[in-house]
A and B are shown apart, each in its own frame.
Chain A
Amino acid sequence: MCLGIPGRILAITDPARQMALAEVSGVRREVSLAPVADLPLAERVGQWALIHVGFAMAIIDEAEAARTLEALRDLGEAQETLAAMAQGDRALEGSR
């Protein structure tokens, strides 16, 4: 079962039951922070979590996300550079 969606933790609604209000693209639902209660609940407010069947199952590591995207963008630029170089080479070939 895999359908999980990133959501932002907005507020703690019931600390005794470890419940919080989370928002996904403007839609709000109470979720349980039990899986991520290793830190005081208040510190989770404002963080992004992977939400699955009403539980915040993991806190999304924003730095890691940014690193992944950056690596992919670099790869894209490298490819473009290679492609441009290859085009340049072909142009040179053609003009000889």
Chain B
Amino acid sequence: MKHVTEFRDPALARTLLAGIARLADSVGATRARPVHIMEICGGHTHAIFRFGLDTLVHEGVEFIHGPGCPVCVLPMARVDDCIGIAERPEVIFTTFGDAMRVPGTRGSLMQARARGADIRMVYSPLDALEIARRTPDREVVFFGLGFETTTPATAFAILAAAREGLANFSVFCNHITVPEPIRALLADPDMRLDGFIGPGHVGMVIGTHPFDFIPLEFGKPIVVAGFEPVDLLHAVAMVLAQIAEGRAEVENQYARVVPEHGNPAALAAMAEVFSRRPSFEWRGLGEIEESGLCIRPEYAGFDAEARFAVGYGARRRSVPEPEGCACGAVMTGRIKPTACAQYGRGCTPETPLGALMVSSEGACAAYWQYGGARVAAE
């Protein structure tokens, strides 16, 4: 597969691992006192585990798994709202597969489907539009979930629906942004991070400059990276090189895809359709300002919150985490999944307590699936 296989080349991986080892030694990184590098994006977490990169890099490099998993940070109350909408007989509720198993207080979308709700998995919001065109007598709702990588797709879908005058299509908007939670993490005095691997596909849309504040205000290096193992190893080497040379900059490892100034058409579509909520709840992280998107009044006809009276905060109810759930601490890198008292005991893939075990890119699910740290729980 072109543009994939070359970046899975074992020879290049070996080169980079050797380079990483040299750099780690040169900054005095050891297993006891490692360099902490946070990969922000859940897709990077998944790739690290799938390719075993955490076991392959020098033992002085430790990956801290960040909160870039939009499914993991979805508040339980929003899942409940989804189910409330989906249970209406006139509604066809469409969603990405990732969201199907996330538990709310009344179970998950998967369980709601078993109880009779018409819930369908789609690959693209365009497919939800097509369902709306083909079933004009039903209300089609698309669950808009994801960071800036995915937000433009929803924006373009709403713009298309507006052009066509579709009367039976709306979006339940849960899109969130990456820079704000990073700022919240960095502002926490307990956080000890030495560098970041930046989300390459978010960068593809917003460019690299939204990450400038990381070196400028907090003095940490960030390398925006692709998703193949060679990309990730390359980015780790680049972060270590910055640390070794006393630099703190935004670097772009994924230049073949990430343009410095982002994608103008995508940015314009997002600006046209969405505005920022003053604040939005992140499961495990609490309320973060200016981090969630809502649909502008001009497009209220496509806003499921308006159509079904499930506005964010409409019922002012914040659902507390289940007893013993430590997703927040894991997601902010304070503890490893295996240090959570529930990991492997009360919380397993079969009976997940929190979203990090349910979402396939949640750190806990990745740990479990790829088995790197299973032993520690037993």
Q: Which residues of A contact B202 (CB under 8 A)?
A: 2
Tell me, yes or no, whether B257 is within 8 Å of chain A by CB. Answer: yes
Q: Which residues of B contact A8 (CB under 8 A)?
A: 2
Q: Which residues of B contact A65 (CB under 8 A)?
A: 3, 6, 256
Of the candidates A6, A30, A64, A68, the one having the most CB atoms from chain B within 10 angstroms of its own CB is: A68
Q: Mark A57-84, 1 if CB is under 8 A from B, else 0.
A: 1101110110111001101100100000
Q: Which residues of A contact B199 (CB under 8 A)?
A: 2
Q: Is the CB of B1 within 8 A of A1?
A: no
- Give chain B nearest CB distance to A92 CB in angstroms: 22
By the criterion of a CB under 8 Å from any partner CB, how many residues of chain A are at the interface?
A: 38
Q: Which residues of A contact B43 (CB under 8 A)?
A: 1-3
By the criterion of a CB under 8 Å from any partner CB, how many residues of chain B are at the interface?
A: 55
Q: Which residues of A contact B125 (CB under 8 A)?
A: 53-54
Q: Which residues of A contact B123 (CB under 8 A)?
A: 53-54
Contact of A64 among B41, B230, B255 (CB under 8 A): B255
Contact A1 B70, CB 8 Å, known A52-B201, A72-B12: yes
Q: For the complex, what is the distance from the CA of A10 to the CA of B193, rounded to whole Å?
A: 44
Tell me, yes or no, whether A46 is within 8 Å of chain B by CB. Answer: no
Contact A35 B3, CB 8 Å, known A1-B147, A17-B160, A57-B205: no
- Give chain B nearest CB distance to A76 CB in angstroms: 4
Q: Which residues of A contact B34 (CB under 8 A)?
A: none
Q: Is the CB of A35 within 8 A of B16?
A: no
Q: Is the CB of B19 within 8 A of A75?
A: yes
Tell me, yes or no, whether A5 is within 8 Å of chain B by CB. Answer: yes
Q: For the complex, what is the distance from the CA of A73 to the CA of B24, rounded to whole Å?
A: 21
Q: For the complex, what is the distance from the CA of A34 to the CA of B272, rounded to whole Å?
A: 14
The 9 closest A-B CB pairs, nearest first, are: A2-B43, A54-B124, A1-B146, A76-B15, A6-B3, A65-B256, A64-B256, A1-B150, A53-B124
> Besides A35-B269, A76-B12, 19 other CB < 8 A contacts?
A1-B145, A1-B146, A2-B41, A2-B43, A4-B257, A5-B1, A8-B2, A25-B1, A38-B264, A53-B96, A53-B150, A54-B127, A57-B204, A60-B257, A61-B256, A61-B257, A62-B256, A75-B19, A79-B18
